[in-house]
Amino acid sequence: MQLHELRAKHKNKKRKRIGRGGKKGSYSGKGIKGQRSRAGARFEPVIRALVKRYPKLRGYRFGRQSEKPAVVNVGELEKSFNSGNIVSPEILLEKRIVSRIKGRAPKVKILGKGKLTKELVIENCQLSKAAREIIEKAGGKTSPKP
């Protein structure tokens, strides 16, 4: 005997449609009113309550939020660098001032908190207005916005 030669032992039993007249009476075993008595009655699954609790990410292409830059203050550059040094995201990674984001060097933004007396060359970093003024006042160079 092969799989394609198998036959069912019993015929499929048809589901009895109730609540449509006939000998069973007006309510036909469904009771009076309520969700259970309606045609197509489906109960809310228990898991629905859990699903409704989760926050939903709405909108078109919600997964593409731009990553925020790593923040470094001018005061930290004063401590970690000598006069004439180049400051870039890769060098900040080597000195462990910033850490990797998703396995690569992050975008870096330099803010103006602290004092700076050394001439630094800033490359590939975003700068706040205050930080740009402080760096240029100390004699450093800044590249245009990346």
Domain ranges of the chain: 71-142
pLDDT beneath 70, residues of the chain: 19-25, 62-65, 145-146
Answer left, alpha or beta for residue 8, where phi above 0 means left and psi between -120 and 50 means alpha.
beta
pTM, rounded to two decimals:
0.55
Top-tier CATH class for 71-142 = alpha beta
SS3 content of the chain, % helix, strand, coil (to 5): 25, 10, 65
Pairing relationship of beta strands 86-87 and 141-142 according to DSSP bridges: unpaired
pLDDT number for residue 49: 83
Could you report the per-residue pLDDT of 38-66, keeping only the tens digit for each?
Answer: 877 777 778 888 888 888 877 777 666 67
Long-range contact set of residues 13-22: C-beta below 8 Å, sequence gap at least 24: none
pLDDT number for residue 73: 93
